[in-house]
Structure 1
Amino acid sequence: MHRDDPLDDFDARSIDLQGIRKIVHVSGSGPAVIIMPEMPGISPQVARFGRWVRDAGFTTFMPSLFGRDGAVPQAEEGTAVFKRACVSTEFHAFGANAASPVTSWLRALARLAHDECTGPGVGAIGMCFTANFALTMMLEPSMLAAVVSQPSLPLDDPGGLEIAPEELANVRQRLEQENLTVLAYRFAGDPFCRAQRFAAYSHALGERFIGRVLPDSAANPDPPPFFKHVIGSPHSVLTAHLIDETGQPTRAARDEVLAFLTDRLLA
């Protein structure tokens, strides 16, 4: 976890959708699960989570959205990636009530993945900068399972949601009609994903939103430099701050995500 990951057990595919080409790292077999990286990119910890999903019986699709694929999150490099993403036209880092433009491409990726893979539909997991993208992707009919981990956007509004109100209403209607739920995680003291945001999700989605709050004491005390020196608090439930040991709350969260995907896509 402290060395760059070559990702050589993934197929780095160049996928063109809607006239936009991105590298997507694909591995496994079974129903598709799209794993969107947290800031500052597809780290060894994100790749480890992708392998856990793959080994649970899924085809993992990890789109490269920012940063250097496989790189250990360093403080200076990660900060530069974060600053570039904040001004990119693909993302809405600031201001609530509007989804990032990249979510249209991600919904197209879900359609492609569903066409290529077996199973009733597709799952998506977003983290940090990309967390709410998984919720917006529920506008795509092939999407059946969304996991929202430490949703951090919009950065300037702790209680804001990065999705247009009419889209949010459509998502809730679909969740109700098809008896679906959205699974979400955060650490209690995370300044990038505060209680106000989970309260906003709960108000918008009602009982269709299942929010889990982990104690700060459950976080890995020795995360990569970007998380230690830039983030500076427990944040990444499924990756950088996960402790892969029996009895740890973060491992239990990982297992719950895998069971959630299995129930929706394999059962």
Structure 2
Amino acid sequence: MRELAGWAGGSHTAGRVTHPTYRKGAGPGVVIVHEIPGITPEVLTFADDVVDRGFTVVLPHLFGDPGEPASAGQIAKAIAHVCVSREFTKLRAGVASPVTDWLRSLARNLSDELGGPGVGALGMCLTGGFALAMMVDESVAAPVVAQPSLPIPVGKTRAGDLGLSPADREVVRRRGAAGCAVLGVRYRGDPATGTRFDTLTELLGNGFLKVELEGKGHATLTAHRQQVAVDRVLDFFDERLRPG
């Protein structure tokens, strides 16, 4: 396991699945799930912003080489891993990626350790919708979906699919109606997100809070970072994880 300066390395096991983790900070917990190609310097910059705001951040390492900049080689390596991995559902609609079971366990353990109303969960790009699947567990009190891109939006059904089973979708709807808001961040013209923001608006109504950026871009919090998006995410974590 590669060291990241300032981050404490560890691991989490759920069932027969173990993945490395990196942890930093103090305060309420937030799980940040990286995008392709991995835990890049841009992902670390955003994670440090969350730490500096007064949160304990845990970064699970699911693929890629931690700390390495995004490059054609790193992207190709990560895509190859995801394509052959059974933990990620790429094309099927109406199902959650199996790795979300492990992520729910990670969030639950962090919430049990730190207490409070729960933890934040943020996914981006390929993992963007994972925060919704994690929200099925009551431990997640502040879910953020950043440019959700799975399943690959080929065809109308996949373009609007949230990467949830029907049962999980109903739990998300019910939790939203009970007051657990979901924050979504994307570039308005980003084709990778399909019509998922429309689906979330239909499912959650006013419980789905949106930041839709103008211009061309995809990675709202990292490579194509817009500070207005970063600030809204930080404010959302404050609102949901520091009651009163």
Q: TM-score, normalised by structure 1?
A: 0.85
Match of 1:77 in 2: 74
Higher mean Cα deviation, 88-97 or 144-153? Answer: 88-97
Task: Please state how far the C-alpha of 1:66 moved relative to its aligned partner.
Answer: 0.8
Match of 1:207 in 2: 206
Give 3-state SS (helix, strand or coil) of 2:192's partner: coil
Give 3-state SS (helix, strand or coil) of 2:184's partner: strand
Relative to structure 1, the CA distance from residue 201 to residue 86 in structure 2 (aligned partners, 3 Å threshold; closer, same or farther) is farther
Asked if 2 retains the 8 angstrom alpha-carbon contact of 1:30 and 1:118, the reply is: no
Does 2:221 match 1:238?
yes
Structure 1 residues 50-89: aligned runs within 5 Å? 50-89=47-86
Poorly superposed stretches of 4+, deviation over 4 Å: none
**CA distance in structure 2 between the aligned counterparts of 1:69 and 1:135, rounded to whole angstroms:** 24
Q: TM-score, normalised by structure 2?
A: 0.93
Name structure 2 gaps, 5 residues minimum. Answer: none
1:141-162: CA deviation from partner (whole Å, max 9, x where unpaired): 1110000000000103222221
Asked if 1 retains the 8 angstrom alpha-carbon contact of 2:177 and 2:204, the reply is: no
Name structure 1 gaps, 5 residues minimum. Answer: 218-233, 243-249
Asked if 1 retains the 8 angstrom alpha-carbon contact of 2:40 and 2:70, the reply is: yes
Give 3-state SS (helix, strand or coil) of 1:96's partner: coil
**CA distance in structure 1 between the aligned counterparts of 2:199 and 2:140, rounded to whole angstroms:** 22
Give 3-state SS (helix, strand or coil) of 1:22's partner: strand
**CA distance in structure 2 between the aligned counterparts of 1:144 and 1:15, rounded to whole angstroms:** 20
Give the residue type in structure 1 aligned to 2:112: D
Does 2:29 match 1:32?
yes
Give the residue type in structure 1 aligned to 2:174: Q
Match of 2:241 in 1: 265
Match of 1:184 in 2: 184
Match of 1:223 in 2: none
**CA distance in structure 1 between the aligned counterparts of 2:212 and 2:75, rounded to whole angstroms:** 26
Task: Please state how far the C-alpha of 1:137 moved relative to its aligned partner.
Answer: 0.7
1:208-255: CA deviation from partner (whole Å, max 9, x where unpaired): 1122210115xxxxxxxxxxxxxxxx100011101xxxxxxx101111
**CA distance in structure 1 between the aligned counterparts of 2:220 and 2:53, rounded to whole angstroms:** 19
Match of 2:18 in 1: 21
Task: Please state how far the C-alpha of 1:27 moved relative to its aligned partner.
Answer: 0.4
**CA distance in structure 2 between the aligned counterparts of 1:173 and 1:16, rounded to whole angstroms:** 29
Match of 1:255 in 2: 231
**CA distance in structure 2 between the aligned counterparts of 1:80 and 1:10, rounded to whole angstroms:** 24
Asked if 2 retains the 8 angstrom alpha-carbon contact of 1:54 and 1:60, the reply is: yes
Aligned length: 238
Asked if 2 retains the 8 angstrom alpha-carbon contact of 1:13 and 1:23, the reply is: yes
Structure 1 residues 153-192: aligned runs within 5 Å? 153-155=150-152, 156=154, 157-177=158-178, 179-192=179-192
* Amino-acid identity (%): 41
Task: Please state how far the C-alpha of 1:6 moved relative to its aligned partner.
Answer: 5.9
Structure 1 residues 82-121: aligned runs within 5 Å? 82-121=79-118
Q: Please report the RMSD computed on the Cα atoms of aligned residues, expressed in angstroms.
A: 1.5
Higher mean Cα deviation, 5-14 or 66-75? Answer: 5-14
**CA distance in structure 1 between the aligned counterparts of 2:27 and 2:142, rounded to whole angstroms:** 15
Match of 2:125 in 1: 128
